[in-house]
Amino acid sequence: MQKEYKRILLKLSGESLIGSGNFGLDPAVLKQYALEIKKVHDAGVEVAIVIGGGNIYRGMNESETGIERAHGDYMGMLATVINGMALQAALEKEGLYTRLLSAIKMEQIAEPYIRRRAIRHLEKKRIVIFGAGTGNPYFTTDTAGSLRAVEIKADVILKGTRVDGIYTADPEKNPAATKYETISFKECIEKDLKVMDMTAFTLCMENKLPIIVFDMNKPGNLLQVVKGEKVGTLVI
pLDDT of res. 3: 66
Nearest to 53 by CA among 90, 24, 88, 89: 24
pLDDT of res. 78: 97
Positions in the chain whose pLDDT score sits under 70 = 1-3, 60
Architecture of domain 7-235: 3-Layer(aba) Sandwich (3.40)
pLDDT of res. 171: 84
Contact yes or no for 29/219 (Cβ under 8 A): no
Max intra-chain CA distance, the chain: 53
Question: Collapsing DSSP states into helix, strand and coil, what is residue 69?
Answer: helix
Alpha helices (runs of H) in 94-136, residue ranges in sequence order: 115-123
User: Which amino acid appears at position 51 of this protein?
Assistant: I
Cβ within 8 Å of residue 133, ≥6 positions away: 73, 76, 77, 80, 103, 139, 140, 141, 143, 144
pLDDT of res. 64: 78
What ranges do the domains of the chain cover?
Answer: 7-235
Q: What residue ranges in the chain does DSSP mark as E strands? A: 7-12, 46-51, 98-102, 111-112, 127-131, 156-161, 166-167, 179-180, 182-183, 211-215, 233-235
Contact yes or no for 111/128 (Cβ under 8 A): no
pLDDT of res. 15: 93
Give 76-123 pLDDT, tens digit per residue.
999 999 999 999 999 999 999 999 999 999 999 999 999 999 999 999
Cβ within 8 Å of residue 143, ≥6 positions away: 133, 134, 196, 197, 199, 200, 203
